[in-house]
Each structure stands twice: as C-alpha cells, then as structure tokens.
Amino acid sequence: MGDSRLRVVVVGAGYWGPNLVRNFNLSDDWDVAAVCDLDLERAERLASTTRTAVAVSSIEEALAIDGVDAVAIATPARTHESIALAAVAAGKHVLTEKPLADNVDSGERMVAAAASAGVVLMADHTFCYTPAVLKIADLIAAGELGDITFVDSVRINHGLVQPDVDVFWDLAPHDLSILDFILPGGLRPEGVFAHGGDPLRLGKACVGYLVMQLGDGVVAHVHANWLSPTKIRQLIVGGTRRTLVWDDLNPTQRVSVYDRGIDFITVTEDAERAAAQVSYRYGDTLVPALPEKEALSLMVAEFAAAIREGRAPRTDGHSALRVLNVLDATTRSLEAGSSLVTVDRDTEEIVA
C-alpha cells in the first residue's frame, strides 16, 4: 500500500489534532506528511508518534512539502477559512473540524472555493461515523420508523465552559450534524427559536434549548448544557411506525427501536361532526447489534474514498453549511429575545 497512500498534513496539535494524527497514521489509506502548529515543539512531539511526519510551524511550510494530497484542520473555527482557502488554492483536499467556520459567509466562501478548484471539502462530523448513527441512518432510510414525527436530543454535562463561544456553538454542532445525517433530505428547518440561560453571568448562554420547525407539525429539540452534574447523551427519534432511542453512554444497548406509539384515527359521522380516537400501541423492542469500530477510522476512510472516487463525502461542505446556518439562526434568535427566525439560505445553490 505504501506508494498508493494519500499524504495528509494535520494542522493543529492541540486537543483534536492528536486524534486525527493517530487515525490517519493507523490507516492503510494515509501517510501523515506533516504536523503543523504554531508551537513547533508541540508539533514535533506529535509528529514523532507517526511513521513519516515532519513538524512545521506554518501552513506555507506545510503546503510546500512535496506530494501532499490533503490538509486536515484541527484549529479554532475562526481560523478555518484562511487555512482552508490556502490549501484549496494549492490544489489540496480539505477536512475541517466542526463547525465548518465561525460564520456563514466564511463557510460559503470555503464551499465555493473548493467547488471552483475541484477538490473535496469534508467536515469532520465525527458522530456521523459512529456505528450507532450509521445504523440509525440506515433504519430511517429503510422506512423502519415510518414518517418522522419528532426529534428530541439531549447533550449535557458538567463543563467545559468555552472562552470564545456559547453552549450552542460548542455542543449543538454534534446534534445538528447527526440530524442532518439521518433526516431524509438533511436538516432544513423552516424556523428556529432558541432560549439561553446565563446563570454564571458570563455574557453568553451556558444552558440552551433549541427548537427547530421541520414542517408538517414536526419539531426537533436540542438541549445543551454545560452546568449539569450528570452527563447525558441521548437522541430520541419518533416515527409513525416505531420510535428509536440512542443512548451513547449505554455500551450494551446504544440503540433501541420500540414498536410503541400512538395512532390517531378520525371517524367522521357526517359533514359537520368528527370524533378523534386514540389508539395506543405496545409492541416489541429491537436492540440491533453494532460493530465495534472507531468513528474517526471510518471518517478518514470516507475522506480517502471521496478523493479517490471523485465524489462528495457523506459529510460534505453543503451538509456542514446546513449546520452552520442553523447555528447562525440560533444566535439571531437569542439576539432577538428568543424570537422565531427563518433559516433561508439554500446551501445547494452555492457553486464556484
């Protein structure tokens, strides 16, 4: 496999960069050509854990290395655009940590530049590559749940309070990317309203509740919280046929599919009178077997496959922009006193 491996530069040796380096290094698809970080000593320590990587302290040095195919960005969101545009201008494929950027305009410029250059732009929406979420997406696509009736997602824990973003921008990208991945047609809410609490008086929401109107009376709800003494990672997806629960902290039963629900039957007696009857359904519970695979290993394999096959990855720039648009709408709702705001940008219209 040696000569056929793709070569990647990982930019950022802080919190997430080591996870990317480890998975690229273990993959048969990749060689880590370089680790780039402003702190050269930190870059050198991380590079020493790989087969072949060198350490550099600037993106210019990294892009000057012969044979580099791609750049993986694991730096703060505010830096993503400048690094990505430099990489795209050099003809490199790009992988970015979530969120795609720190604002919608930057994200749109990144998507347009990649399209113009004909390179892959992929978002590292890691949770989308967990065996559990892949299974959930397959079940929904196969119609096992029926039509979606509601979504309820909870992501709460004790800390870590971020210095530069609120709890929505810190935690909700995970939930939003999952919803975009599993919902037919992606995450395209008609409206969004957000409620945020700042009991610590930090000037930003530390506790947040986000409601998205998906149409036809269907709502999706995301609860994000830095202040909870307990950690909960749970997603409930209701359908007209079955309801699914994903408990990420339950290793023996991560995904459960319940044949339980409420059916509404309308009986019309005449043109002016109608009575609604409710039928409660109690059936079996299915716990599908899931393979034990690390999400990041599947993610880097998908990045390589998209490059080699000349196709969009499963979490491409457009999916990342849909997430970014909802985050932007969340901020606008908070600024407007938790008012309902629209999500009106069509990411599919962004071309070179």
- From first to last of its 352 residues, what are the pLDDT tens digits of the chain? 446 899 999 999 999 999 999 999 999 999 999 999 999 999 999 999 998 899 999 999 999 999 999 999 999 999 999 999 999 999 999 999 999 999 999 999 999 999 999 999 999 999 999 999 999 999 999 999 999 999 999 999 998 888 889 999 999 999 999 999 999 999 999 999 999 999 999 999 999 999 999 998 999 999 999 999 999 999 999 999 999 999 999 999 999 999 987 776 666 665 555 556 777 778 899 999 999 899 999 999 999 999 999 999 999 999 999 999 999 999 999 999 999 999 965 555 444 4
CA pair distance 288, 197, nearest whole angstrom: 38
| 164 Cβ contact partners less than 8 Å away, ≥ 6 residues apart | 76, 78
In DSSP notation, 70-111 reads: EEEE-S-GGGHHHHHHHHHHTT-EEEEESSS-SSHHHHHHHH
Query: What residue ranges do the domains of the chain occupy?
Result: 2-125+295-315, 128-290+325-348
CA pair distance 38, 254, nearest whole angstrom: 39
Condensed to tens digits (0 to 9), the pLDDT of residues 40-99 reads: 999 999 999 998 899 999 999 999 999 999 999 999 999 999 999 999 999 999 999 999
- Using alpha carbons only, give the angle 155, 331, 169 rounded to the nearest 5 degrees: 35
CA pair distance 233, 254, nearest whole angstrom: 10
Condensed to tens digits (0 to 9), the pLDDT of residues 290-329 reads: 998 999 999 999 999 999 999 999 999 999 999 999 999 9
Q: What dihedral angle (degrees, nearest 10) is formed by the CA atoms of 313, 128, 222, 324?
A: -20
> DSSP assignment, residue 349?
G
Q: Residue 345 has what pLDDT?
A: 59
Angle at which helices 167-182 and 131-141 cross, to 10°: 50
Fold of 2-125+295-315: Rossmann fold (3.40.50)
CA pair distance 42, 203, nearest whole angstrom: 32
Span 128-290+325-348 CATH architecture: 2-Layer Sandwich (3.30)
CA pair distance 306, 212, nearest whole angstrom: 31
- Using alpha carbons only, give the angle 109, 110, 111 rounded to the nearest 5 degrees: 95
CA nearest to 21, candidates 101, 160, 124, 131: 124
Q: Residue 2 has what pLDDT?
A: 43
CA pair distance 246, 238, nearest whole angstrom: 12
How many Cβ atoms are within 10 Å of 59's Cβ, its own excluded? Answer: 21
